[in-house]
Amino acid sequence: MSTSRTAKPSAAASGSFALGGDLNVHRLGFGAMRLTGKGIWGEPRDRDECIAVLKTALDLGVTLIDTADSYGPEVSERIIAEALYPYRENLVVATKAGLLRPGPGRWEPDCRPQHLRAAVEGSLKRLRLERIDLLQLHTVDPKLPYAEQIGTLVELQREGKIRHIGVSNVNLEELEEARQLATIVSVQNRYNLGDRESEDVLDYCAREKIGFIPWFPLATGDLAKPGGRLVEIARRLRATPAQVALAWLLAKSPVMLPIPGTASVEHLKENVAASGIMLSADDLAALDA
């Protein structure tokens, strides 16, 4: 039996954040990418377990679920609707558009206006929504002007199909350009203990009160090696290294909205329990070093 923290987890312990000023979500969310097959392709190995994961996430206080039309493709969105529709009033289902899936493990940008429009219409149908609370442009398509890509989402927002717009996988210059064209309420970039390349984007989001959604949040790099600082802190707190990595993210910034994903109810409970872990100033300094 695991000795890590699993008892009575609650995402509420991590506090809340108002996406766009009007969507209050608990800061520890759930990423639904893993509710698919190998290579983020096709149906999951155990669909019933995936449905149980989603239902349990809500019971544990999760109010932000992040997905994308490219997860499966389409599989993750369909499972979310199957498990959770009709949705609870306080639940925010965020999705993304802008990537094609030629095959397992393969991703290709496609942010042409016609593709984005078709993607949003498809997500609305699969998720059984009249409006998507948060639609994030999944990537920056180098084949056409970024203004054209963001502009299409602005048009869809004016048409009432999108409530808020977010961007993903952007550098600081691209984020600033997007903000000249639209009100951007979230940024989803890779960020974790072992990869802090987007530190400047995170700092910008903190100053501007923009939600920062780190993808691949559980990667720990060399810190998780035997005898490493992360392992020692986890042992002292009777937690797993992954739980400490999530606690570090939550402590890093009030705009941080981690979305760890899993297809296991047990693993989900461990992840959510990380919101109750309090790291000391010395712990944070050791992990930041």
The answer to whether the CB of 242 falls within 8 A of the CB of 218 is yes
| CA angle centred on 63, ends 61 and 66, rounded to 5° | 130
Residue entry with tokens 């993210």:
249
- CA 9, distance to chain mean position in Å, is 19
Sign of CA dihedral 156, 157, 160, 162: positive
Two tokens, residue 203: 């700092």
Q: Is 87 a catalytic residue?
A: no
What are the DSSP calls for 245-270, one per residue? Answer: HHHHHHHH-TTB------S-HHHHHH
Return the structure tokens found at 196.
């802090």
Catalytic choice (71, 146, 191, 204) = 71
- Rounded to an integer, what distance in angstroms lies between the CA atom of residue 21 and that of residue 101? 33
Report the catalytic residues. Answer: 71
